Amino acid sequence: MLFYLLLLVTLVKSQVQHTVINSFNNNVICVNNVCYDANGLFVSGGNGCYVINGKIYKNGVYLRDMTPMDYRKLEIYNQEVNRWSVDLQDSIQRSFPWDVRNPSHTEFPWNMMSRDKRHINDQNRRHRHKRFMPFPVVPYFC
Q: How confident is the model at residue 99 (pLDDT cuts 50, 70, 90)?
A: low
Contact partners, residue 90, CB within 8 Å, separation at least 6: none
Local confidence band at 142 (pLDDT 50, 70, 90 cut-offs): confident
pLDDT digits (tens, 9 = 90+) for 6-63: 333 343 333 344 444 444 445 666 655 566 666 665 555 556 777 778 888 887 788 9
Are 28 and 52 contacting, i.e. CB atoms less than 8 angstroms apart? Answer: yes
Give, in order, the Cα–Cα distances in Å from 104 to each of 89, 95, 112, 121.
13, 13, 19, 20
Vertex 72, ends 70 and 74: CA angle to 5°? 70
Predicted confidence at residue 132, as pLDDT, reads 74
Instruction: Please provide residue 78's backbone torsions phi and psi, each rounded to the nearest 5 degrees.
Output: -60, -40
Rounded CA-CA distance 142/90 in Å is 34
Q: Give 133's contacts (C-beta < 8 A, 6+ positions apart).
A: 84, 87, 88, 91
pTM over 0.85: no
CA-closest candidate to residue 87, choices 123, 136, 126, 125: 136
Amino acid at 53: N
